[in-house]
Amino acid sequence: MTLLARFDRAHGGLAADAALYGLAALFALLTALTSTLLPHRAWGAIAAWAYLGAFLVVVGQLVLRRPAGRLPLTWVAWAGTALLPLIVEAVQRSAGQAGRAQEEVLVVEHMGERLAGSGTPYLGPEAIAALPPGEQLLGYAPYQPGMAVFGLPRAAFGDVWWTDSRVWFAVATVAALAAAVRLVPPGGPLVRAVQFATVLPICALTLATGGDDLPVLALGLLALACCAGGRYGAAGLAVGAAAALKLFALPILVVLAVLALTTGHGRRFLPGALGLPVLALLPALVDADAFVENVIRFPLGHGIVTSPAQSPFPGYLIAQAVPGGRYVAAGLLVAVALAIAVVLVRRPPRTAAAAALFCGYGLLAAILLMPTTRFGYLLYPLALLLWAPALNAVLSRRTATTAPRGDTALYRL
């Protein structure tokens, strides 16, 4: 057993819990004091107290040597570190206070308004170019058409706190995570997996201030849990819904499609997995060029304005420092994608746990090598990689005739 694994299991998992909540409290405090982003500062001012409270509860559990109640504490901590700041910022924003939402919140709400008014959530390149220079970035909507659904409440009912798109991101996230957790046996792996999808600062901060990635992640985790439980029809619907929201879900869809075909469940999985994204594309047919401009050209750096996603990962550094670096980074990304595809075909995953590892490592490589990316995108691989041990518990609960007991394919990468 590695040193990290020993620490994770020390005192029934409480030692790692204390480290998580303590370091998260420090991160939130530093964010409140030093962040240049006003929504982040507002999040930190609330979340720091919630993390501190969770830390003190865990310290009490350590003193009393009672590790019970770790999962309920996780949910309570998530409410204090993500849901409460979200509601506070949404209320303050509806009251006219500036700096209480990241740009993606506005973008999604504009998508809903456009979908309701014109039938497509996108502006074409000419319309974006006609905007004032300071507004052109917000004219882009680099999401799948399904994301516009979260902006429809604002379009229908106006500027009140509960029509904030983050509120509906949170509703979808809570519903998907709750459904996923019901499919996984309780225990240490589940607690750690839920923590890394909820109270980890990168997740809590994202949901409270922006939020569009969390429903996609939660639906992906639900799809994996459904596959682990043999519910491939439900898994297809879950990952199909995720892919209708954001392209980040497509790698998860591909890996789960390979898993479903390999295990003989393709007929149950594929209709929902492919059907929902295709249906979501119908609004894009109203103006196909606008869809291409927003979803393809802009993320690739060929839009009218440049994406602000510039975290200092290898792909970004190569693109900036090496002559022709954008093409070098793109070449490396394609090479890694082809390597993963070859392994996926030659040694396909036969369990949901192995599929989760494929997805986690694949997305990690993509995030590190993309020329334009965000630090916050790391929430995807972190949550997926921690979800794999919890899925193994699902497999061990099932009978030997429903699913294989193990799959070491990914560990041979």
Model confidence pLDDT, tens digit, residues 257-289 = 999 999 999 999 999 999 999 999 999 889 999
User: Is pLDDT above 50 for 306?
Assistant: yes
Q: What percentage of the chain exceeds 70 in pLDDT?
A: 95
* H helix or E strand, kind and range, residue 395: helix 379-397
Give CA–CA dist 284/366, Å, rounded.
26
Judge whether residue 101 has pLDDT over 80: yes
Question: What mean pLDDT is predicted for residues 105-109?
Answer: 96
Q: How far apart are CA 50 and CA 39, in angstroms?
A: 17
- State the average pLDDT over residues 206-216: 95
What percent of the chain shows pLDDT beyond 90? 72
Bigger pLDDT: 315 vs 146: 146
Is pLDDT above 60 for 299?
A: yes
The tens digit of pLDDT for each residue in 190-208 reads 999 999 999 999 999 999 9
Using a cut of 0.95, tell me whether the model's pTM lies above it. Answer: no
Each residue of 117-171: pLDDT tens digit? Answer: 999 999 999 999 999 988 899 999 999 999 999 999 999 999 999 999 999 999 9
Predicted confidence band at 398 (pLDDT cuts at 50, 70, 90)? low
Q: Please check the confidence at residue 51 and state whether its pLDDT lies above 80.
A: yes
288-299 core/surface letters (b: 16 or more CB in 10 A; e: else): eebbebbbebbb
Between 8 and 163, the more confident residue is: 163
Q: Six-digit token pair at 296?
A: 């393809």
